[in-house]
Amino acid sequence: MITVLTGKRPWIAALLAAGLIAYLLYLENTSLRVTHYEVTCPDLSKAFNGFRIALISDLHGNTFGREQAQLVAAIREFEADIITIPGDLVDEREFTFAPAVSLIKGIQGLAPVYYVCGNHEAASGKLDMIQAQLENFGVTVLRNQAVSIIRGDSSIRVAGLDDPLTLNAPASRREKELHHILSQITADNPGAFTILLSHRPELIDVYAASEVDLVLCGHAHGGLIRLPGVGGLVAPGQGLLPSYTAGLYQTCNTFMVVGRGLGNSAAFQVRIFNRPELVLITLRSGSP
């Protein structure tokens, strides 16, 4: 009797360990984390001190509660001034638009919503349909264009840059083309404080060269697997040990916030030490 039980113990321990690992992976991939950043920008007008931005990146068709209740509740509590979506609401490999619709319906009326396409929308062949649907729900779709937000005598500009996959240009010329597009977007008022929505953080040098004040990105998925002291291990467009995966960065006078994203691409479905993330940003005027 004792011998039989002893023989079973390693198997029981292995099953328990496997179950625990599976449960932890489930939490890592489904449990929402809300991250707050405070960004102090020297060129921001005092009229916009305390301006609040919700950043929703890389949903990829994922869900957080019935009708996206967790996401909606967190944004409602934050009382955002604007809600920004820098691409990849959908996944082009397993296309489903319903979770995105639930999210958009839930945040309607909370704040103005601004969206730019990511590589998955661009590659899906359904970008025009996605744009039409979002606009029907009151979302401002920014396709290489900008809008102004006015407070009293002051204003800021919210601009949006299409994903490079939409360009009719070879990969070697895309950065130059993007810089040209940004120059056109900002030409009407070169000195205006500009918040840019653009999917890809690896293009930060392009954004900085165009003297954008704040860039909001996703795409890197937090580096997929994050290790203490190392950060993300791999990211699309950046490869191994990527430089821009999550958090706040600065190049010259340009700040960039990169969200870890909320969903996983169908090509890689596992996050490790890298929970889905909703980013909430408060802007401050003055010296950093």
Q: In this structure, are 51 and 81 located in the same domain?
A: yes
Host domain of residue 221? 33-285
pTM (2 decimals)? 0.91
Q: In this structure, are 90 and 184 located in the same domain?
A: yes
Q: How many of the other CB atoms lie within 10 Å of CB of 224? A: 22
Determine which of 20-29, 75-84, 255-264 has the lowest per-residue pLDDT on average. 20-29
Q: In this structure, are 97 and 201 located in the same domain?
A: yes
C-alpha of 40 from chain center: 20
Domain count across the chain: 2
pLDDT in the model for residue 14:
60
Residue 44, domain CATH = 3.60.21.10
Q: In this structure, are 44 and 25 located in the same domain?
A: no
Q: In this structure, are 277 and 215 located in the same domain?
A: yes
Q: In this structure, are 47 and 8 located in the same domain?
A: no
Measured between alpha carbons, how far is 57 from 3 in angstroms, rounded to an integer?
55
Does 29 have pLDDT greater than 80? no
Q: In this structure, are 22 and 37 located in the same domain?
A: no
Q: In this structure, are 244 and 147 located in the same domain?
A: yes
Q: In this structure, are 14 and 38 located in the same domain?
A: no
Q: In this structure, are 79 and 196 located in the same domain?
A: yes
Closest residue by Cα to residue 117 from 39, 18, 200, 23? 200
